[in-house]
Amino acid sequence: MKSYLLSPDKLLGFVKKLSKDGSLFYPTLENGKTHLVRFDENTEFEPNFGKIRTAENIKHFFFPSRDTVAKFPKDKAKPLEKRYLLGVKNCDLRGIDVYDRVFTGWEPVDPLYKERRDKTIVISADCPEPEDSCFCNLLALNPYADGISDLNITEVPNGLLFEVLTKRGEEIINAHKDLFTEAKEEDEKERTKVRDGAVKKLNAINSKPFKKDLAARVGAANRERIRDARDECVECHACLHGCPTCYCFLLGDYKRGKEIERVRLWDACYYAAYARVGGGANPRSRIDERFWNRFQCKFDFFFGYEKIYACSGCGRCLLGCSAKIDIREILWNL
């Protein structure tokens, strides 16, 4: 794919032009963490592409925690405006990959997800400085994008190197060609240097790979091992709500005046009522069973269907966990 160079002093102009076409969100640094904020011409523009993924996942943009999916007797859904997500890291792109497979890869296709996906332009950014909580390399991912997003940014000495990954990305570059110059070989060599450094750091953080038959080991875990793994879990649910790849949901109907709304809500397998069915039966009434469901779903069941793990190695589960349970340690010890 072709690469183009954007001078840092032209980034604001590029972002302003994109924001005229739709709402734009970018990562900014606050108290040592990055957060996605909406671009506003009246607010100082201070993007940060060097830190790891944002503290919050980007799931809300595609799969909101509370989503009205239908109204009765008349559905008055408004069309969605175009959106730009700037600076997304590859671990969050794995979440989009999982949603694509779940909501559009099988019949019936989810029309709400498809509309959000179609109207969201994703411009990812390399992750040059992985932190101790990161483990994307254990899941066959790199700290840089090679798909899913439309464009990818790498910070190099001469500016911002944009790599075209899709036709939509190419159209964006062509529409703003006055701002870009074609990248030179030296710029691409610098990109390789940045990426090699990030991979080297990740390999130092996670020097021990997961076992090749990980899915089978997760599926075969006995009760004693599961009990030991969940021993310190306090059921705070931070791991599931922070996870960029979880996609379980509930549907409920609610009366709103003379109308009825059908609402989709995030569900989480650590909830006591997660597996409860009509009549009150609950095949996962014990926390041990619900705790291990997360591992089975991400590393066994999903892998069986799609041949990728439904985990991105973003590390949010560890950083959010009240008991500081490290998913890596559990999987290494299987």
Distance CA 47, CA 39 (A): 10
| pLDDT tens-digit series, residues 12-42 | 999 999 999 999 999 999 999 999 999 999 9
Q: What are the phi and psi torsion angles at 206 (to 5°)?
A: -120, 75
**pLDDT beyond 80 at 127:** yes
Q: What are the phi and psi torsion angles at 245 (to 5°)?
A: -115, -10
State mean pLDDT over 229-255: 94
Neighbouring C-alpha atoms within 13 Å toward the C-beta of 22: 17
Pairing of strands 23-30, 83-88: parallel
Query: What is the residue whose two structure tokens read 């076992």?
Result: 211
Q: Tell me the pTM.
A: 0.95
Distance CA 329, CA 318 (A): 11
What pLDDT is attached to residue 324?
96
Q: Residue 128's CB: how many other CB atoms inside 10 A?
A: 19
What pLDDT is attached to residue 95?
97
**pLDDT beyond 90 at 75:** no
CA distances from 157 to 154, 187, 190 (A): 10, 8, 8
User: For residue 48, which amino acid is it?
Assistant: N
Confidence of residue 77 (pLDDT cuts 50, 70, 90): confident
| pLDDT tens-digit series, residues 175-197 | 999 999 999 999 999 999 999 99
**pLDDT beyond 90 at 89:** yes
Higher-confidence residue: 72 or 18? 18
Q: What are the phi and psi torsion angles at 261 (to 5°)?
A: -105, 135
What pLDDT is attached to residue 33?
95
Q: What is the mean pLDDT of the chain?
A: 95
State mean pLDDT over 197-214: 97
What pLDDT is attached to residue 254?
94
Give the N- to C-terminal CA distance of the chain in Å, as an integer.
40
Pick from 27, 45, 49, 52: nearest CA to 37? 27
Pick from 216, 218, 214: nearest CA to 295? 218
Confidence of residue 133 (pLDDT cuts 50, 70, 90): very high
* Percentage of the chain exceeding pLDDT 90: 95
* Percentage of the chain exceeding pLDDT 70: 100
